[in-house]
Amino acid sequence: SQKIEQNSEALNIQEGKTATLTCNYTNYSPAYLQWYRQDPGRGPVFLLLIRENEKEKRKERLKVTFDTTLKQSLFHITASQPADSATYLCALPSRDSWGKLQFGSGTQVVVTP
């Protein structure tokens, strides 16, 4: 199975700045990669999906890049707001079963006013 690595240390950032999170995987390159947001005591919420042939994807203040050569995805939150404070998870599809996802451990983002 994939080994998915996300920075376990919380990212503390000032409001208005850009937060950048990293997701690295070690094994096969997936057909797509997803990012989710999880608030404490809640289930994850889907944010973005980026396919292997897409270099970049944007949704409002969010931007995701996907570099299959580096086996890495970067997740950017621009003009960050305190409401963006949450844990962000990257997820890759399982190669052995369609529709199954494998999740990274997530990176907590704390945006201070």
Partner 1 sequence: GAVVSQHPSWVICKSGTSVKIECRSLDFQATTMFWYRQFPKQSLMLMATSNEGSKATYEQGVEKDKFLINHASLTLSTLTVTSAHPEDSSFYICSARVNRGNGVEQFFGPGTRLTVL
C-alpha to C-alpha distance for 84 and 61, rounded to whole angstroms: 10
* Closer Cβ to partner 1, 80 or 107, answer by number: 107
Q: Kindly report the backbone phi and psi dihedral angles of residue 56, in degrees, each rounded to the nearest multiple of 5, phi listed first.
A: -150, 145
- Shortest Cβ 57–partner 1 spacing (Å): 10
| Interaction residues for partner 1, span 4-23 (CB under 8 A) | 4
Q: Which is nearer to partner 1, 9 or 113 (CB)?
A: 9
102 binds partner 1 (CB under 8 A): yes
The SS3 call for residue 85 is: coil
Closer residue to partner 1, CB minimum distance, 49 or 110 = 49
**For residues 25-84, which are near partner 1 according to CB under 8 A?**
31-32, 34, 36, 41-46, 49, 51
58 CB-near residues (< 8 Å, 6+ apart) = 64
User: In this structure, what is the dihedral angle of CA atoms 86, 105, 9, 82, given to the nearest 10 degrees?
Assistant: -10
Please tell me the distance from the alpha carbon of residue 108 to that of residue 14, in angstroms, as a whole number: 14
Positions touching partner 1 (CB under 8 A) are: 4, 31-32, 34, 36, 41-46, 49, 51, 89, 93, 97-106
